[in-house]
Amino acid sequence: MKKPILLSPPHMGDRELKYVQEAFDTNWIAPVGPHLDAFEQEFCQITGAGHAAAVSSGTAAIHLALQLIGVGRGDEVFCSTLTFAASANPIVYQGATPVFIDSDRKSWNMSPDLLREALEKKARIGKLPKAVILVHLYGQSADIEPILAACDEYGVALIEDAAEALGATYKGRSPGTFGLMGIYSFNGNKIITTSGGGMLVSEQSELVAKTRFLATQARDPAPHYQHSHIGYNYRLSNVLAGIGRGQLHVLSQRVAARRHNYEFYTQGLADLPGVEFMPEADYGMSTRWLTCLTINPKEFGCDRETIRLGLAEQQIESRPVWKPLHLQPVFSECECFGGEVAEDLFSRGLCLPSGSNLTDRELSLVIQTIHQVQQNSIQK
Ligand SMILES: *Cc1c(COP(=O)(O)O)cnc(C)c1O
């Protein structure tokens, strides 16, 4: 049996187990304890965020952010369309309606021009959104400044979904730290993982304090259990925060390894026609969380799906670029500004195996298999 090559598997360093052992030794097994506090502090140091609250997932962090802004029934919330469903699901948890915004080609992220257009249109009919959820896709920051400027101009809160972009930069700073709140994910496939987890950050300490309050069942300060708010059970475990602390130590190595994958792929596939990699915008550094490319089938000789299936035959996992949310059956009724760019990237885009623990031999095997698929197609 050949060992499968996965898209983005977890990659532990050498301190995680020590921190977990420490949690066991001191019996801090609950969603409270010293690792949790330290993880939040160390996360702030690394990202430059003002304050941070560790929660059970990135999705939970988005949900709490919307809750804190007071998003509710009848409200609209703008969201990037080219993203994972978890970016928008919490909008629906709150009884609000998502409105999707297309990407621009230079970053594959939300188009600042389209966002402004959408805000202008909504302002004219007196129905501005309660918030904008801006996604930083595949390890690359969106063009935050013009987006933040448009949000500020219309008085709309900006929530940054930086689930895929920890370790990236935008003009030297971490995406996720510009908006009113930012969120990150430590799911098993992200650049670092706690097996499952997330973080909410903000410059405003009250928002982060309130996040912790809501994430731990909204208990009023009383010896008996008393509640004046509906709360959630969303806090991260102290055991998992230990894993997170270990992973933060190796974050810069993980970024370097993923960027190495990208370099290796670009060199190895440079001779193939009709292949274009996700561009890196000049305002920052992408982590290349996933190496993504688009295929022009006429020039290449076959389409994206043929490549994906050819790789799968060799036990190599690759995936189409996110199916845009406005095309998802569950969001089919939702309004979308633009959509053609995301649709094109979805129909021709492929994410290659991008784990930080890939060996050069494995990378070469992926490259070789893609060459093989292409050869077979043009001979037909
Ligand atoms: C993974 C991901 C999320 C959700 O994070 P979880 O920790 O898995 O809940 C949200 N948005 C994007 C863009 C993601 O990639």
Does residue 208 contact residue 52 with C-beta atoms inside 8 Å? yes
Give the residue from 250, 265, 289 where a domain finishes: 250
> Can you give the pLDDT at residue 380?
75
Clarify whether residues 356 and 311 are in a common domain.
yes
Does residue 343 contact residue 327 with C-beta atoms inside 8 Å? yes
In a domain, 2, yes or no: no
Number of domains the chain contains: 2
Q: Which residues line ligand 1 (CB under 6 A)?
A: 57-59, 83-84, 86-87, 135, 161, 163-164, 185, 187, 198
Clarify whether residues 117 and 203 are in a common domain.
yes
Domain with 375 in it: 252-379
Pocket test for ligand 1, best of 87, 159, 160, 189 (most atoms within 8 A of CB): 87
Give the three-state DSSP class for 185. Answer: strand
In a domain, 95, yes or no: yes
In a domain, 4, yes or no: no
* Residue 240 pLDDT class (50, 70, 90 cuts): very high
* Mean pLDDT score of the chain: 97
Task: Specify whether the backbone of 126 is left (phi greater than 0), alpha (psi in -120 to 50) or beta.
Answer: left
Q: What is the pTM of this model?
A: 0.98
Q: Tens digit of pLDDT for each residue in 318-340?
A: 999 999 999 999 999 999 999 99
Distance 290 CA to ligand 1 centre (A): 14
Does residue 131 contact residue 76 with C-beta atoms inside 8 Å? no
Clarify whether residues 242 and 271 are in a common domain.
no
Give the residue from 250, 275, 304 where a domain finishes: 250
- How much of the chain exceeds pLDDT 70, in percent? 100
Clarify whether residues 324 and 232 are in a common domain.
no
pLDDT of 379 above 90: no
Does residue 202 contact residue 51 with C-beta atoms inside 8 Å? yes
Pocket test for ligand 1, best of 185, 240, 247 (most atoms within 8 A of CB): 185
Clarify whether residues 241 and 257 are in a common domain.
no
Residue nearest to atom 5 of ligand 1 (CA): 58
Q: Tens digit of pLDDT for each residue in 120-143?
A: 999 999 999 999 999 999 999 999
Give the residue from 219, 250, 281 where a domain finishes: 250
Clarify whether residues 197 and 261 are in a common domain.
no
Q: What is the CATH number of the domain that holds 355?
A: 3.90.1150.10
Distance, CA of 361 to CA of 61 (rounded, Å): 38
Query: What would the mean pLDDT of 361-377 be, rounded to a whole number?
Result: 97
In a domain, 1, yes or no: no
User: Angle 202-206-211 (CA atoms, 0-180°, nearest 5)?
Assistant: 70
Clarify whether residues 188 and 282 are in a common domain.
no
Query: What would the mean pLDDT of 300-328 be, rounded to a whole number?
Result: 98
Q: Which atom of ligand 1 is nearest to the CA of 62?
A: 10
Clarify whether residues 279 and 150 are in a common domain.
no
Clarify whether residues 208 and 298 are in a common domain.
no
Does residue 240 contact residue 223 with C-beta atoms inside 8 Å? no
Instruction: State how far the alpha carbon of 1 is from the alpha carbons of 59, 76, 152, in Å.
Output: 36, 50, 56
Distance, CA of 336 to CA of 341 (rounded, Å): 12
Could you tell me which residues are beta bridge partners of residue 54? 199
In a domain, 217, yes or no: yes
Residue nearest to atom 6 of ligand 1 (CA): 58
User: Angle 7-329-82 (CA atoms, 0-180°, nearest 5)?
Assistant: 50
Instruction: State how far the alpha carbon of 134 is from the alpha carbons of 108, 137, 143, 153, 367, in Å.
Output: 12, 9, 10, 16, 33
In a domain, 10, yes or no: no
In a domain, 330, yes or no: yes
Q: What is the CATH number of the domain that holds 48?
A: 3.40.640.10
In a domain, 9, yes or no: no
Distance 280 CA to ligand 1 centre (A): 21
Distance 164 CA to ligand 1 centre (A): 7
Clarify whether residues 321 and 174 are in a common domain.
no
Clarify whether residues 204 and 256 are in a common domain.
no
Clarify whether residues 172 and 223 are in a common domain.
yes
Distance 270 CA to ligand 1 centre (A): 31
Q: Which atom of ligand 1 is nearest to the CA of 59?
A: 9
Q: Tens digit of pLDDT for each residue in 104-115?
A: 999 999 999 999
- Cβ neighbours for 256, distance < 8 A, ≥ 6 positions apart: none
> Can you give the pLDDT at residue 1?
67
Instruction: State how far the alpha carbon of 368 is from the alpha carbons of 183, 231, 262, 263, 363, in Å.
Output: 37, 52, 15, 15, 9
